[in-house]
Structure 1
Amino acid sequence: MGVNHKDIVDPNTLLHDSVTATRSGKDEEKPKFGVGQKVKLLEDIVNDGTYPHEKIGTLMMPKGSVGYIRSIGEFLQVIRVYEVHFFGVENVPVEIVGCREHELEAMEDFHDEVQEELEFMRQHREKNYKK
């Protein structure tokens, strides 16, 4: 007697896979957003199973929430994930959510202060230390 797979898997269960559902392949080389940038959520974020303390499908952060990029990471070395800290959102289990680029909209321009400082120092050296 074998195991009946119908007893294990309910074919009517809706699986949430917001990480890979709307994209295949590798993300662009450069991130669209930067650390510290203010962003708005373009769609609801639901638990896709990566947050172990809530059921799959639980609303983690509603569309329209505003937050700031805390860090930028990768999932499976090809999918960029932004760690976004959302403030003042009520009735959600967390304040920090991993988001994809297509789920976010910039609320302000990003200025890479590190790159601006490096460029300033390069120009200063060229001007003051010509050979």
Structure 2
Amino acid sequence: MDAKQIFDPDVKLYDSITASRSGRDEDEPKYRTGQKVKLLEDIVNDGTYPHAKIGTLMMPKGSIGYIKDMGEFLQVIRVYEVHFFGAEMEVEIIGCREHELESIEDGYVSEEALEREAMKAHRQKMSKEDK
């Protein structure tokens, strides 16, 4: 390897063995944007949320939310950004893995419908705080 070369082009960055060890998800996503889902287990802070101690409950099992977006961690772990409207927790948007979720509705929910529901939940939450 040349002294100026930063990486070895012969090193394989992805293979089926290391992918299975890292918990790689299926090639096709299980959920879609706008889909209604339920949490199958408690979500605790694993250190990715900087404003709470590691191990803090972020969202309880059974919470209902909607898939807002989808991304990947380390190019092999699919993470869904799930919005739990009106949650009585510190945050309403949590990153979840496929095995932590269960589909409630198969249909697509429009952004307009999600926004209406979010505004309704926000108004209810604010009216409770005002009392």
Considering the TM-score relative to the shorter chain, is it more than 0.5?
A: yes
Which residue is 2:80 aligned to?
A: 82
What's the CA shift for 1:26?
A: 2.1
Which residue is 1:106 aligned to?
A: 103
Q: Distance in 2 between matches of 1:48 and 1:26?
A: 18
Q: Distance in 2 between matches of 1:25 and 1:56?
A: 21
Q: Distance in 1 between matches of 2:28 and 2:79?
A: 12
Q: C-alpha offsets along residues 50-98 of structure 1, whole Å, 9 cap, x if unaligned?
A: 00000000000000000000001000000000000001221x2100000
Q: Which one has a larger percent helix, Structure 1 or Structure 2?
A: 2
> Do the aligned partners of residues 56 and 45 (structure 1) sit closer, same or farther apart at CA in structure 2, a change above 3 Å counting?
same
Larger-Rg structure:
1
SS at match of 1:81: strand
| 1:31 pairs with 2:29 | yes
Could you tell me whether the CA contact under 8 Å between 2:85 and 2:92 is conserved in 1? yes
Q: Distance in 1 between matches of 2:100 and 2:24?
A: 16
Which residue is 1:10 aligned to?
A: none
Identity %: 78
> Do the aligned partners of residues 87 and 25 (structure 1) sit closer, same or farther apart at CA in structure 2, a change above 3 Å counting?
closer
Aligned length: 90
Q: Distance in 1 between matches of 2:84 and 2:100?
A: 14
SS at match of 1:102: helix
Structure 2 gap ranges (5+): 1-20, 111-131
Could you tell me whether the CA contact under 8 Å between 1:73 and 1:82 is conserved in 2? yes
Which residue is 2:61 aligned to?
A: 63
